[in-house]
Amino acid sequence: MSAEQQHAIAVDQLIKYYSQRKKIVSPDGKVSRKQQVKSVDGVSFTLQKGEVLGVIGESGCGKSTLGKLLVRLEEETSGSIRFSGVPSKELHKRSQLAFRRTAQMIFQNPFDTFDPRYTIAELLTDTLKLHKIGGSYDERLAMCEQKMEQAGLVPAQHYLHRYPHELSGGQLQRISILRSMLLSPLFIVADEPVSMLDVSVRADIINMLIDVCQKENTAMVFISHDIISTRYVSDKVAVMYLGRFVEYGPTEEVLHNPKHPYTKALISNSAMLESLEQKREVIRIEGEPPTPINTGPGCYFYSRCYQRRDSCQSIYPDFTDVGAGHKVACPYTS
Amino acid sequence: MGSYIGRRILTGTLTIILAIIFSFLLIHLAPGNPVSILSGRDNPSPEMEAALIAKYGLDQSVFVQLGSYLKNIVQGDLGQSISNNRPVVEMIAERIGPTLLLSLTTAILSLLIGTALGIYCARSAGSKLDSALNGISYLFDAMPGFWLGMMLILLFASGLKLLPTAGMVDLRADYTGFAHYLDVLKHLILPGLTLTLISTPYFFRIARSSVIQVMSEDFVNTLRATGMKESRIFNKYVFKNAILPTVTVFGITLAYIFTGVAIIEIVFSWPGMGSFMLKAISSRDYPLLMGIYLILSVSVAVNMIIVDLLYAFIDPRIRYK
């Protein structure tokens, strides 16, 4: 229990299935009405305070759903999420506001993050007011101003009284990060926070994100499909494929020494990682990922894997620990 | 903001002036000799022709004629109706009241009912009530207004004998005071119901789809992530964003408030502008037609100005352009 309490967040076998209603006549004449889309299919991990987990994977693999589950913008089908040992469901039930002060989220598109009808000051102070922080509007405004100037948005007055459409993507994303940190959460999810931004400001935004997280000792899940920025930000990295982690471990260990064929393929296709010692051959994987509906019993990656064997078809492989907390869901790693 | 209003009013006024000039020139382009229309014959006698040319100043150049027409408009004189030989202004004034009564009542009713139902359905999208109302809205949207009007007459007036079939007042009775209003209300029910039934679906679907669209935007998730209650998110944030298309459609509805209900006016023999306009067209009463066009174009332009100003009030992104 004490070990558990040290974890800022502990996720155990988190599952999110969406059910679809569809009539399908299968070849043997049976009619199945309900289908399950396995969006997140048994994800587990833990993070200490201030630790960062990078989640990488291609579009549609369930990264964003995972992010939303963690901050309860989606309800999980089963599994548990604990913040400092307290189940998030319970925390949320007891007080929705208290939960929001624990877990926050940074969204992908800064242009859509803010209601276009209100100024930044109105939006930020409204959040504070909701959480009963600060006695008056002026006091709350001063708090926002202070936070903004600390984060390098100087002068804050220049930004506060503008509408979202009057600011650039980079400026908005800084404000978005500030907004999520306004309540000093224990944990935040950053869902592809820089993918919509110009390359020239990405580094700045990522540095700011790291800074504020370190200052507040906030644990973070950093969702991305960009291996380079994930490597820069994360302490741990998880590779996701069709709703499951296929490889998980300390960042440098996983990226230097990938074991899962999918991770290997991803890294071999990431041009800028060539500085990582030896030259690699580019591994091509073909085809689309299979549908997350009615997945068979075998390994999900089977259809695209270049190392597949017949036995892979019959059972989904368990994690094997290859040392130093590096886990791989593939039995043929050597 | 001030300069925005000023600019908008200026362009609106320009639009009106251009519309007047354009409709004036359009009538001049129309084939046929004005003298023969005015006299009502194909071959008027030379004396009659000369008298008419002198009376209407038809020997002047087009620009002089346009000038005097504009001057008369400014003085509130829209000319003389050919078919009735009465001032156009007077005739229009008689007809505007009933049309406004019918079209404003139904516009406001369908705005309120449609928007309220649309919002309600959007917030419980996919429910049984939602699907049912959605289906009904398509049904009424697809229904021709004149047909629905006739069916309602058949049912409520001819069949059940609950309501009058046509007109705005009972011609056989001579009600005054409160009884008069009650009589008008009784006559208003059927045409009003017809128009409300066929125009509510627009407001319903627009409100429904724009609320659903705004509810799925990311900033709503942001607000949820701050811990805000759904009701507050809706009242303070979503509503303001979702109402813009409704304002647009209501503005367009108002712009056609004088003539848009013509068919229904004819079905119910409602003494309004729409049926009046059709009569003016069929009797080639050009001064009267131009008067009606003028009212129509002014009302479109004024409504557009009002809608644009409302936009600026609701949406800060427009204000600063």
Query: Quick one: which of A240, A312, A186 has its CA closest to A43?
Result: A240
Using the Cβ of A115 and the Cβ atoms of chain B, whether some distance falls under 8 Å is answered with yes
Using the Cβ of A169 and the Cβ atoms of chain B, whether some distance falls under 8 Å is answered with no
* Chain A hits for B241, Cβ within 8 Å: 115-117
Cβ contacts of B24 within 8 Å, gap of 6 or more: B66, B69, B290
Q: What is the dihedral of CA B220, B221, B226, B230, to 10 degrees?
A: 60
Of the partner residues A68, A118, A130, the one whose CB lies closest to the CB of residue B226? A130
Cβ distance A283 to A264 under 8 Å?
yes
What is the rounded CA–CA span in Å between residue B82 and residue B285? 6
| Whether B221 and A97 lie within 8 Å, measured CB to CB | no
Residue B15 buriedness (CB in 10 A; 0-12 / 13-18 / 19+): middle
| Whether B223 and A165 lie within 8 Å, measured CB to CB | no
Query: Quick one: which of A14, A12, A52 has its CA closest to A236?
Result: A52
Using the Cβ of B226 and the Cβ atoms of chain A, whether some distance falls under 8 Å is answered with yes
| Whether B226 and A127 lie within 8 Å, measured CB to CB | yes
Using the Cβ of A104 and the Cβ atoms of chain B, whether some distance falls under 8 Å is answered with yes
DSSP B113-173: HHHHHHHHHHHTTTSHHHHHHHHHHHHHHHS-HHHHHHHHIIIIIIIS--S-SS-SS-SSS
Q: Order of strands across the sheet with A31-48?
A: A31-48, A7-25, A78-83, A86-87
What is the rounded CA–CA span in Å between residue A121 and residue A114? 11
Neighbouring-strand partners of residue A219: A187
Q: Is residue A249 part of a domain?
A: no
Q: Is residue A137 part of a domain?
A: no
Cβ contacts of B167 within 8 Å, gap of 6 or more: B187, B268, B269, B270, B271
| Whether A115 and B241 lie within 8 Å, measured CB to CB | yes
Using the Cβ of A279 and the Cβ atoms of chain B, whether some distance falls under 8 Å is answered with no
- B231-250 mean pLDDT: 87
pLDDT tens readout for residues B149-191: 888 888 887 788 777 777 777 777 777 777 778 888 888 888 8
Q: Is residue A313 part of a domain?
A: yes
* Chain B hits for A70, Cβ within 8 Å: none
Cβ contacts of A8 within 8 Å, gap of 6 or more: A47, A48, A49, A50, A51, A83, A84, A186, A187, A218, A219
What is the rounded CA–CA span in Å between residue A270 and residue A126? 42
- CA–CA distance from A78 to each of A13, A20, A94, B16, B213 (Å)? 8, 17, 19, 65, 29
Q: How many CB atoms lie within 10 A of CB B123?
A: 17
Residue A55's pLDDT is 94
| Whether A96 and B227 lie within 8 Å, measured CB to CB | yes
pLDDT > 90 fraction of chain B, expressed in percent and rounded: 11
Cβ distance B52 to B35 under 8 Å?
yes
pLDDT tens readout for residues A232-256: 999 999 999 988 999 999 998 998 8
Using the Cβ of B216 and the Cβ atoms of chain A, whether some distance falls under 8 Å is answered with no
Residue B118's pLDDT is 93
| Whether A100 and B237 lie within 8 Å, measured CB to CB | no
| Whether B222 and A130 lie within 8 Å, measured CB to CB | no
Angle between helices A120-130 and A137-150 (to 10 degrees): 110
pLDDT > 70 fraction of chain B, expressed in percent and rounded: 93
Cβ distance A234 to A206 under 8 Å?
no
What is the rounded CA–CA span in Å between residue B15 and residue B38? 30
Whole-number mean pLDDT of chain B?
82
What is the rounded CA–CA span in Å between residue A111 and residue A107? 10
Distance of CA A101 to the CA centre of its chain: 18
Q: Work out the pLDDT band at B34, boundaries 50, 70, 90.
A: low
pTM for the model: 0.73
| Tally of domains in chain A | 1
What amino acid occupies position B67?
G
Cβ contacts of B146 within 8 Å, gap of 6 or more: B263, B264, B266, B267
What is the rounded CA–CA span in Å between residue B198 and residue B286? 32
Residue B89 buriedness (CB in 10 A; 0-12 / 13-18 / 19+): middle
Residue B42's pLDDT is 65
* Chain B hits for A109, Cβ within 8 Å: 218
How near does any CA of chain A get to the CA of B222, in Å? 6
* Chain B hits for A92, Cβ within 8 Å: none
Q: Work out the pLDDT band at B228, boundaries 50, 70, 90.
A: confident
Q: Where are the alpha helices (DSSP H) in A73-168?
A: 88-94, 96-102, 110-113, 120-130, 137-150, 156-160
Neighbouring-strand partners of residue A221: A53, A189
Using the Cβ of A272 and the Cβ atoms of chain B, whether some distance falls under 8 Å is answered with no
- CA–CA distance from A117 to each of A112, A172, B213, B316 (Å)? 12, 15, 16, 6
How near does any CA of chain B get to the CA of A318, in Å? 34
Domain range for A282 is 260-334
| Whether A112 and B227 lie within 8 Å, measured CB to CB | no
Using the Cβ of A114 and the Cβ atoms of chain B, whether some distance falls under 8 Å is answered with yes
Tokens at B209, concatenated: 């789809």
Neighbouring-strand partners of residue A217: none
Residue A1's pLDDT is 46
Cβ-based contacts under 8 A for chains A and B: 64
Using the Cβ of B241 and the Cβ atoms of chain A, whether some distance falls under 8 Å is answered with yes
What is the rounded CA–CA span in Å between residue B308 and residue A47? 53
Q: How many CB atoms lie within 10 A of CB B215?
A: 18
Domains, chain B: 2-74 (no CATH), 91-319 (1.10.3720.10)
| Whether B316 and A109 lie within 8 Å, measured CB to CB | no
Top residue of B222, B243, B318 to mutate, by most chain A CBs within 10 Å, is B222
pLDDT tens readout for residues B2-16: 777 888 888 888 888
Neighbouring-strand partners of residue A35: A20
What is the rounded CA–CA span in Å between residue A67 and residue A90? 19
Q: Is residue A234 part of a domain?
A: no
| Whether A117 and B225 lie within 8 Å, measured CB to CB | no
Using the Cβ of A21 and the Cβ atoms of chain B, whether some distance falls under 8 Å is answered with no
Q: Is residue A37 part of a domain?
A: no
* Chain A hits for B229, Cβ within 8 Å: 96
Cβ distance A188 to A103 under 8 Å?
yes
Using the Cβ of B240 and the Cβ atoms of chain A, whether some distance falls under 8 Å is answered with yes
Residue B31's pLDDT is 66
- Mind listing the pLDDT tens digit of every residue in chain A (334 residues)? 455 557 889 999 999 988 877 666 666 666 666 778 888 988 999 999 989 999 998 888 888 899 999 999 888 999 999 998 889 999 888 888 889 999 999 988 888 889 888 899 999 999 899 888 888 999 999 999 988 888 888 888 888 988 888 888 889 999 999 998 888 899 999 999 988 888 888 888 999 999 989 988 999 999 998 888 899 999 999 999 988 999 999 998 998 888 888 888 888 877 655 555 555 567 777 777 777 777 778 888 888 888 888 888 888 888 888 888 899 988 887 6
Top residue of B219, B228, B238 to mutate, by most chain A CBs within 10 Å, is B219
Residue B114's pLDDT is 93
Cβ distance B103 to B258 under 8 Å?
yes
Using the Cβ of A300 and the Cβ atoms of chain B, whether some distance falls under 8 Å is answered with no
Instruction: Determine the residue of chain A that is closest to B216 in CA distance.
Output: A112
Q: Work out the pLDDT band at B33, boundaries 50, 70, 90.
A: low
pLDDT reading at B94 higher than 60: yes
What is the rounded CA–CA span in Å between residue B116 and residue A308? 58
- Worst-scoring range by mean pLDDT, B11-20, B140-149, B171-180, B289-298? B171-180
* Chain B hits for A108, Cβ within 8 Å: 218
Using the Cβ of A113 and the Cβ atoms of chain B, whether some distance falls under 8 Å is answered with yes
* Chain B hits for A101, Cβ within 8 Å: 227
Residue A295's pLDDT is 74
Tokens at B41, concatenated: 């014959």
- Worst-scoring range by mean pLDDT, A41-55, A166-180, B106-120, B281-295? B281-295
Pairing verdict, β A236-241 and A52-56 = parallel
Q: Work out the pLDDT band at B203, boundaries 50, 70, 90.
A: very high
